[in-house]
Amino acid sequence: MIHAIQRIWQRYVHHIILGIIIICAAILRWPMVNFALPYTPQPDEPYVINMLFDMFRFHSWIPNNFDRPHLSVYVTFVGVWLGQLFTPIDPAVLARGTDRITMASAPFMHGRITMILVGLASIIAAYWHARQYQLGWAAFVAAGWLALLPFHQEQSGIITPDIMVGLFTFLIMASCWQYSLTPTTRQLWIVALICGLATGTKYNLAAAMIIPALMQWPLISQRAWRPLLRNIVIIGVGTLIGFFITTPGIFWSINEIRANLDSQISHYSRPDANFKPWDWSYYVWFFQHEGWLITGSIATLAGMVIVLRHKRLVDIGMLVFIIIQLVFFLSRERHYMRNLMPIVVYAAFYIAQSSNWTVDSLRRWIPSLPLRIIIVCGVLFSQPVLASVAQFQFMQRPYNLLTIDAITATQPRGTAHICTYEPITIAQTPSCDAIVNNTGDIAIWQASGLQQLVINRSQFAQLQIPAPLTLLQSIPSSFYGGNGEAFAIYTQDPISQLRTAGQPATTSDGVQILGMRLGRGEPRARISPLSPVTQLPARGSTLNLNLYVTVITPVSEPNWWLFVHLFDANGTKITERANPPRPDYPIAEWKAGELVFVNADLLTPPLPAGEYTIVVGFFRPSDGARMIISGSDNGTWQLPITIKAP
């Protein structure tokens, strides 16, 4: 039995060690599957998922957007399609995700699992490529480095094309290395097709064609112009074929792809106050803290020198490709570090090279090979192990927006919640009533029933908070950003700042009507602050009304409905509505002391200039009985308004 185990170990030792690395990598990445949902911190995720939703709805294989090529979309589509076999989804009712929140979590989970598998495949590809260079044990260093690298760990669990870029970086180099050993036409076609498939993950990977093109240098020195021209044509045509395979919609969507490419170029050229072109300090910070870490940065640069000493064209071509990528993104006005994925992942190969060289160099002082490997790997992996464990822990913590939700859920629900930049949810329902950008916006809302203000302190660090808003809770961000950006929640007594039109009135069932804010415009999807002014313009199809009530005691009748009528000066009813006052917040749940505001919008026909009266009240649908309102003999609260002449 022992001998059998020994034989199995000797025969499959490399597979076993690689398998252990892959299992550890999968465990480290697994928290990303549920991370932050229903929020989507990476805005590229709903971009992809929304395309998949449309493909499901219309039974189409063609995505409807060309901001990016489509290979990652198709790979994600397969993952989501397989996932829905276990967790069925109905394409007819799939809600579209915004850039920050979605209510359909299952497709995101399945897409993330798919990307994790792609990330694991890139680790295997890194090991395979290092083995091509006869690095032996050091090939495990390449695989282990990617397995532990926090940047790779995070990007593997996000539905973006970037982790596929990492995989294809190794596939391109592996095929180019094979071409350097056997420079046949067939192998060159394989290289070109892989370059095309890589371009199908991200447009900027088309620059990878420079690697096989530079490998044609011997033909130039020999002045073999015909073979040179043939090979260049193969590289170009093969790349185009590979790209067309992954993005076939380009054939009948030329105008769309041109517009999307122009949009992408202008996006990256748009000035960003946080960065500037050639922002070396930011790039150095990235590579030292997330991209390669400090130990990896030193090992990478050493590995580059070691590799380039051999003067192989394939390695020189990769360096030129890296320089092109760096120059392109450094010269842009906007910085997205995930665009540097080819450089980050290929560092694993350079690190394997420098590790192998260091272990050989220590032979003079440390005869034992295992001891040398342990010492070198101990120094090399000390930082990524700690960083990876920290990243793993951060991924398991509640996302900051979920923490905000938990805090908000303990606060009164009837008043306004406004935010800077991010939404919040209560009971899985988006509940950020407005996005504000400055102190003036906040002041308008303070007079409109504001209870809570959520500030993204990572984006709005200098925003001044007007009194009487006071800090309820501060939520810090983490060093690696694992649990989201920094937030602060402010609160105030909403009634003290409220300014409304109309006279307050008490009712017979614990509700006090405070007044109304008004506007004239179009139907609203969410609450807006409006104004206490009762003179309104004639233009518009809707009388926008915010009705404000405070709860003296909880209601005894759980089924009160709200009616809203509009009468002209002659007492003729113009329009009306009747429904539960807050469908999202039943009146039976209203709490004593709480301010509740109600969207009481009325659709109206064109209104001539003149005097009108808004009439509101509460009634019981079962028998029509009305709640008694002080100062009224018919259970109504009334507000005269004026429609001004155009």
Q: What span, in angstroms and rounded, lies between the C-alpha atoms of 516 and 501?
A: 5
Any domain includes 96: yes
599 touches 546 (CB < 8 A):
yes
| pLDDT for position 525 | 81
Q: What span, in angstroms and rounded, lies between the C-alpha atoms of 298 and 354?
A: 9
Q: What are the residues facing 418 on neighbouring strands?
A: 434, 453
84 and 227 within one domain: yes
Q: What span, in angstroms and rounded, lies between the C-alpha atoms of 125 and 121?
A: 6
455 and 367 within one domain: no
Residue 255 CB partners (closer than 8 Å, separation 6+):
none
Q: Please give the structure tokens belonging to residue 208.
A: 């990878």
301 and 428 within one domain: no
Phi, psi dihedral angles at 296 (to 5 degrees): -70, -35
Domain harbouring 552, CATH code: 2.60.40.2550
Quick one: DSSP state of residue 588?
G
| pLDDT for position 527 | 86
Any domain includes 3: no
Helix, strand or coil, per DSSP, at residue 313: helix
Any domain includes 580: yes
Q: What span, in angstroms and rounded, lies between the C-alpha atoms of 254 and 252?
A: 6
| pLDDT for position 219 | 93
- Summarize pLDDT for 87-138 with one digit per residue, the tens: 887 776 666 666 678 778 889 999 999 999 999 999 999 999 999 998 889 9
Domain span holding position 572: 500-643
Q: What span, in angstroms and rounded, lies between the C-alpha atoms of 542 and 601?
A: 7
Q: With CA atoms as reference, report the closest residue to 471 among 487, 448, 494, 485.
A: 487
Question: What's the structural domain count of the chain?
Answer: 3
Any domain includes 27: no
Q: Please give the structure tokens belonging to residue 94.
A: 């799939």
Quick one: DSSP state of residue 644?
P
Any domain includes 55: yes
The CA distances from residue 602 to 137, 521, 530, 569, 575, in Å, are 74, 10, 14, 18, 7
Instruction: Using 70 as the pLDDT threshold, list the residues of the chain that sit under it.
Output: 1, 5, 9, 92-99, 252, 478-482
User: Of 440, 462, 496, which closes a domain?
Assistant: 496
607 and 589 within one domain: yes
State the amino acid at position 380 in one-letter form: L
Instruction: Write the secondary structure of 196-264 as one string of H (helix), E (strand) and C (coil).
Output: HHHHCCCHHHHHHHHHHHHCCHHHHHCCCHHHHHHHHHHHHHHHHHHHHHHCHHHHHCHHHHHHHHHHH
| pLDDT for position 230 | 95
Q: Are strands 511-521 and 535-536 parallel, antiparallel or unpaired?
A: unpaired
Whether a cis peptide bond, with omega within 30° of 0, leads into 43 is: no
Cross-sheet strand order for the sheet of 470-475: 434-435, 416-419, 450-456, 487-491, 470-475
Element (H, E) at 616: strand 610-619
| pLDDT for position 61 | 81
525 and 465 within one domain: no
DSSP string, 51-82: HHHHHHHHT-SS-S--SS-SHHHHHHHHHHHH
532 and 467 within one domain: no
Which single residue is written with the structure tokens 């095309």?
Answer: 196
State the amino acid at position 369 in one-letter form: L
Any domain includes 5: no
Q: What span, in angstroms and rounded, lies between the C-alpha atoms of 480 and 478?
A: 5
Q: How far is CA 274 from the centre of its chain?
A: 19
User: Of 395, 430, 445, which closes a domain?
Assistant: 395
637 touches 502 (CB < 8 A):
yes
Any domain includes 6: no
347 and 299 within one domain: yes
53 touches 94 (CB < 8 A):
yes
521 and 439 within one domain: no
Residue 554 CB partners (closer than 8 Å, separation 6+):
510, 588, 590, 591, 592
Residue 90 CB partners (closer than 8 Å, separation 6+):
none
409 and 314 within one domain: no
582 and 514 within one domain: yes
Q: With CA atoms as reference, report the closest residue to 74 among 96, 51, 91, 92.
A: 51
Full-model pTM: 0.84
**Burial call 323-348: b when 16+ CB within 10 Å, e when fewer:** eebeeebeebeebebbbbbbbbbbbb
415 and 288 within one domain: no
Q: What span, in angstroms and rounded, lies between the C-alpha atoms of 486 and 458?
A: 5
User: Of 457, 477, 496, which closes a domain?
Assistant: 496
With 0-12 / 13-18 / 19 or more C-beta atoms within 10 angstroms meaning exposed / middle / buried, residue 416 is buried
219 and 207 within one domain: yes
Q: Please give the structure tokens belonging to residue 244.
A: 């067309």
* 95 torsion bin: left (phi>0), alpha (psi -120 to 50), beta (else): beta
Q: What span, in angstroms and rounded, lies between the C-alpha atoms of 297 and 275?
A: 23
Q: What span, in angstroms and rounded, lies between the C-alpha atoms of 553 and 9?
A: 75
Q: What span, in angstroms and rounded, lies between the C-alpha atoms of 208 and 318?
A: 8
Q: With CA atoms as reference, report the closest residue to 604 among 541, 549, 547, 555.
A: 541
Any domain includes 24: no
Q: Give the angle 493-495-498 at the CA atoms, nearest 5°.
A: 115
Q: Are strands 602-603 and 470-475 parallel, antiparallel or unpaired?
A: unpaired
